[in-house]
A and B are shown apart, each in its own frame.
Chain A
């Protein structure tokens, strides 16, 4: 325990300071939630590689140096964001800098008809009944240190609410920009998305930082889909290559709802993303897809957990990992099929492409099945570029580096090609192509 406590103490001291700063202004239930979370975090401490779920991801370096909380709003000119927002068009967006809402950079008009969206800080200052019934219900503090840490520092993030029977075509963008000002800071953005019965919407979360900047982002997003709701959720993780990034996406689905998650992750010195989906009723569909591409000394950890609780549920997972340089990766996909979840159809695929001799991937499916009439399939592959195919391209006049870049893109784009929204699909394709051009040193035309 001795190696854990000092780090926890650092965060505890930071929390006391945080409470002195803003604590009293929050509703009582929020204060209680934060306190319970800090108490729980203090008990647990940061996970060690002795724990199965963290075996290949060491967060020891977090305890080596403090990350003070980013407290002050940092002004960045709107033009600076343009390269990462221009693809969004005129659509509305919520922008957070160092975890704090930036009204100047955000544009909420025109908010898609019927949707309500804004900052958590703003919502906590007003009537927060709806929030109280959702916040902390899906991302539980009990056994997850990073969720408890996020909850302990809970103060701002995005709140999105789609009313019943509403279809919203235009995607809503939520951006979390980290801009440490001279010293490494941390932020704990908390997002809550409530999709009403029979609603349909698309939400894109982007996590962004400048290359080389050192900071810690520990984000938690809670999503609840009511009966028949359809939600497409995207995560574009482009943190700085020196950053620490943790994201826990906790999804609760009601009867006949459909949740689709797409992610593209290229950032972070150490990045871990967890998706926990609770398929709480019958006839639910849950689709998780993602591509992670890392190089240098980056470490990328992808954890999924799907809990089939009732009958006729469908889950499909397709994750692609591309690892170059000395990068390491983890994929851990857990599927739980409870006794009442008969007729479940659960599929999981994880394919990995190693671009160098020194890249490493740890992939593990984890199936726990307690029902007897179910279909569960999983497959994991680890491979290198198909040299036969590289030769085929070269025999057509394509240079060897371009051939490798094209092949790498072909591998990663399988998930991207499944994206139905054209604007988002093109952006994902562009980001993957950019990463490949930077990593493999050869650009190509899409």
Chain B
């Protein structure tokens, strides 16, 4: 029996009063990597925002179970402490806050929640430097302010570093490929691949299938008008690339697409 990590059931949500998600279903088990693709305004961003608990989105129906718990009832920090991680599409710049302080505060908050001892600066550095090496990152980055003045590639790599350090159970990668050149994309993808594990699941949200050449998903879902209209293997992503979303949108409108 696969262990479900995330179960999204009939989820409906609005942003600024507008209905975006309309009864979405998705189950993600341990070990699996799911890609969620979709055209602009299909609900991809809203899905990540609802999962991470960002303000401004109202859930109007359905529910989300995370490891059997009611995810939507938790504040954002508790979701993270329980092992949910979002790699942001646009990581926030925080001038004045050093990476070192930020990441140590995050890791210790999570460790405390899990009943583990908080790490001192030395133990923390040992862990982080090892992960940075894996991702080919310069340790000097720890003395720089969070994302401030980072290049696009550095920001995305920094997200993957945080994921590696915080050791999540479910990682959601929101358009991690956007703005990356092919070399940066390969580095980020190999970082993600090194983090695939038996007891971990990932959701890769993307507009293009390019990323899926490097992070090969177990399932591909196409999200249109706030609902998953088609699910398949990797070949579905290739058809989307070849034919665009038009045929799926048409099917969705005519009600012929089968999830």
Docked pose: A392 CA to B102 CA in angstroms = 10
Question: Which residues of A line the B interface, CB within 8 A?
Answer: 386-389, 391-400, 402-403, 406-407, 409-414, 417, 444-446
A397-B77, A400-B75 given. 16 additional CB < 8 A pairs? A387-B55, A389-B93, A392-B92, A393-B105, A395-B88, A396-B106, A397-B81, A398-B105, A400-B77, A406-B101, A410-B94, A410-B97, A413-B96, A414-B95, A417-B96, A445-B101
Q: Is B86 an interface residue (CB 8 A)?
A: yes
Contact assessment for A397 and B101 in the assembled complex, using a CB-CB cutoff below 8 Å: no
**A87 vs chain B, min Cβ distance (A):** 19
Docked pose: A39 CA to B109 CA in angstroms = 62
Question: What are 12 A-B interface contacts by the 8 Å CB criterion?
Answer: A386-B92, A388-B92, A395-B53, A395-B76, A395-B86, A398-B109, A407-B97, A411-B96, A414-B95, A414-B96, A445-B104, A445-B108
Known contacts A391-B54, A393-B102; A398 and B77 CB within 8 A of each other: yes
Docked pose: A398 CA to B166 CA in angstroms = 12
For B165, give the chain A residue with the smallest CB separation: A396
Name the one of A389, A398, A400, A413 contacting B92, with C-beta atoms under 8 angstroms: A389
For B80, give the chain A residue with the smallest CB separation: A397
Residues in B neighbouring A402, C-beta threshold 8 A? 105, 109
Docked pose: A387 CA to B94 CA in angstroms = 11
Residues in A neighbouring B77, C-beta threshold 8 A? 394-395, 397-400, 403
Residues in B neighbouring A410, C-beta threshold 8 A? 94-97, 145
Q: Which of B59-110 contact A (CB under 8 A)?
A: 75-77, 79-81, 86, 88, 91-97, 101-110
Query: Which of B53, B54, B75, B97 has its CB near the most chain A CB atoms (within 10 A)?
Result: B97
Residues in A neighbouring B105, C-beta threshold 8 A? 393, 398, 402, 406, 444-445
Contact assessment for B76 and A391 in the assembled complex, using a CB-CB cutoff below 8 Å: yes
In the complex, how many residues of chain B place their beta carbon closer than 8 angstroms to a beta carbon of chain A?
33
Residues in B neighbouring A388, C-beta threshold 8 A? 92
Q: Nearest 7 pairs between A and B by C-beta?
A: A410-B96, A410-B97, A397-B80, A396-B106, A392-B92, A394-B76, A397-B110
For A405, give the chain B residue with the smallest CB separation: B105
Is chain A's interface secondary structure helix, strand, loop, or mixed overall? helix
Residues in A neighbouring B55, C-beta threshold 8 A? 387, 391
Residues in A neighbouring B103, C-beta threshold 8 A? 396
Q: Is B176 an interface residue (CB 8 A)?
A: no
**B191 vs chain A, min Cβ distance (A):** 17
Q: Is B113 an interface residue (CB 8 A)?
A: yes
Compute the total of residue contacts between A and B using a CB distance below 8 Å: 83
Docked pose: A116 CA to B74 CA in angstroms = 63
Residues in B neighbouring A407, C-beta threshold 8 A? 94, 97
Q: Which of B109-160 contact A (CB under 8 A)?
A: 109-110, 113, 145
Residues in B neighbouring A446, C-beta threshold 8 A? 101
Contact assessment for A392 and B91 in the assembled complex, using a CB-CB cutoff below 8 Å: yes
Known contacts A391-B54, A391-B76, A406-B97; A397 and B92 CB within 8 A of each other: no
Residues in A neighbouring B91, C-beta threshold 8 A? 392
For B114, give the chain A residue with the smallest CB separation: A397
Query: Which of B91, B96, B166 has its CB near the most chain A CB atoms (within 10 A)?
Result: B96
Contact assessment for B96 and A398 in the assembled complex, using a CB-CB cutoff below 8 Å: no
Contact assessment for A397 and B166 in the assembled complex, using a CB-CB cutoff below 8 Å: yes
Docked pose: A446 CA to B120 CA in angstroms = 11
Q: Is B52 an interface residue (CB 8 A)?
A: yes
Query: Which of B54, B86, B106, B107 has its CB near the most chain A CB atoms (within 10 A)?
Result: B106
**B112 vs chain A, min Cβ distance (A):** 9
Bitwise, B163-205 to A at CB < 8 A (1) or not (0) is 0001000000000000000000000000000000000000000
Q: Is B162 an interface residue (CB 8 A)?
A: yes
Docked pose: A403 CA to B52 CA in angstroms = 16
Docked pose: A95 CA to B52 CA in angstroms = 54
Docked pose: A413 CA to B86 CA in angstroms = 28
Contact assessment for B162 and A396 in the assembled complex, using a CB-CB cutoff below 8 Å: yes
Query: Which of A386, A398, A400 has its CB near the most chain B CB atoms (within 10 A)?
Result: A398
Contact assessment for B96 and A395 in the assembled complex, using a CB-CB cutoff below 8 Å: no
Residues in A neighbouring B109, C-beta threshold 8 A? 396-399, 402
For A400, give the chain B residue with the smallest CB separation: B77
Docked pose: A406 CA to B104 CA in angstroms = 12
Residues in B neighbouring A386, C-beta threshold 8 A? 92, 94
Docked pose: A414 CA to B55 CA in angstroms = 29
Residues in A neighbouring B52, C-beta threshold 8 A? 395
